[in-house]
Amino acid sequence: MSHLPGQDLIDAGLEDLARGRESVPALLVSIGALRLRRLGFTVPDQIPFPERRLYERLQETEGDAAHSRYNGLIRRLVSFERAAECAS
């Protein structure tokens, strides 16, 4: 499914989770883990409280723009999930 929008972010998140890294992509995949599993992805153990942790991480790097960046990432995740559902 490498042609789907956001696939690069999902792939990076899955890899980071498998390696035990708490990155922005890993947190995003943790947020979408249930739906991604239903789509057939093997999602390693989730990071606890991923929504809060993602927002806190974005606040550190984005400051006042954290809210916009958070919403953009969530939209990208949902877009990927919807495209993956249509592709399957």
Q: What angle do CA 56, 15, 64 make, to 5 degrees?
A: 20
Structure tokens at 47: 């990071």
Q: Which residue bears the tokens 């739906």? A: 35
The one-character DSSP state at 23 is -
Q: What is the pLDDT of residues 8-56, one digit of tens each?
A: 999 999 999 999 999 999 999 999 999 999 999 999 988 999 999 999 9
**Model confidence pLDDT, tens digit, residues 48-77:** 999 999 999 999 999 999 999 999 999 999
Q: Please check whether residue 57 is in contact with residue 27, taking contact to mean a CB–CB distance below 8 angstroms.
A: yes
CB-based contact 6:20 (threshold 8 Å): no
